[in-house]
Structure 1
Amino acid sequence: MTDQQAPEARAEAAARDLADTGRAVTARAIREAAKVRMAVASVTAKAWNDAARDDDHETIPPVPDDVTGRLEAIWADAYRAALVAVTPERDQLRIDVETLRSEVEGLTADVEAVEAERDTATGQIDDLEQKLATAQAEAEKWATEAAKHEAALTAVRDQHDKLNERIATLLEAQSKREQ
């Protein structure tokens, strides 16, 4: 069934495929399988089901034992051939899966180790940040204290300079009196 066929031909082929595989021949199933409009699918399903009802007077006999036996032998041969063809690849895939599982386990262990290191480092950073904050608070306290002492020192120096000026003035005045 190709998209280049007429929609009716595609719908008819889809109906035949549905019936051959034992599925119900419905308009929806034909529309989905043949990719045709619902109108075409509906007409085809009705015609197919009407024709099937007319053919119901024929009874299909059961499959003869010799045909069943031959089909079972063909199936067994096909299954064994497929098993032989698929087994090496299946075994290799099993080995590959085990290898990949081992790699995943190793990588998972690596990730857990890195996460543990990260958590340890984060804890150390938190401790250092707390110590830094404490040190900064202490430094600010000492800076405030130093500023107070600097202000006191400046006041003492100013007083010292005033006293020196006063002494110089007094010495000069005494020196003038003595002369």
Structure 2
Amino acid sequence: MGWKGSGAPRGDARAPHYDVAVSLQPPSTDDWVALTESPLGIEAAGDWVAMPGCGAVVIFSGLVRDHAEGTDGVTHIEYEAWAEQIEPRLATIVAEARHRWPEIGRMVLWHRHGRVALSESSVVVAVSTPHRASAFEAAQFGIDTLKATVPIWKKEFSADGSQWARSSQHIVEAEQSRASSGQVS
């Protein structure tokens, strides 16, 4: 199914079915936030945000790549998250985006946790608006704010072992602090 013209009208509580993942069921609202171990369906995100009053859909998908800062040969990433905090924080980001761009039709913020293989999507941001400029701006705001404020950490694995990504420094410091105080993980 392509996303062109397939969105339900705004406010329509009937959500189309997608083979995304059992844990990713479309909501009855115009905001869809989720943390899941299941693969993320980029096409499903585009299908869901598309709606008749919106002429622009912007989708950002962050993929696992084969290298990271200081590491070649990345084989996969494992994401850890403070699960209870994720969806409320994602919802806060969407609410702020809607405040800044009231013309947003629908918005998706999804993030994976657990093991994510090379070239798989680890994060999806999708936004529909009547015109492209606000869709691009809202999508960039969504991913930038998610990365800066949501407690999700990634550990990069390669043939040489594993290491926390630089953006996960505070979790490394917390582990070192626990170890030095004798606390067990």
Please, what TM-score do these two structures have when normalized by structure 2?
A: 0.17
- Determine which structure has more spread, i.e. the larger CA radius of gyration: 1
Please, what TM-score do these two structures have when normalized by structure 1?
A: 0.17
Choose between structure 1 and 2 for higher RCO, CA contacts under 8 A separated by at least 6 residues: 2
More helix by share: 1
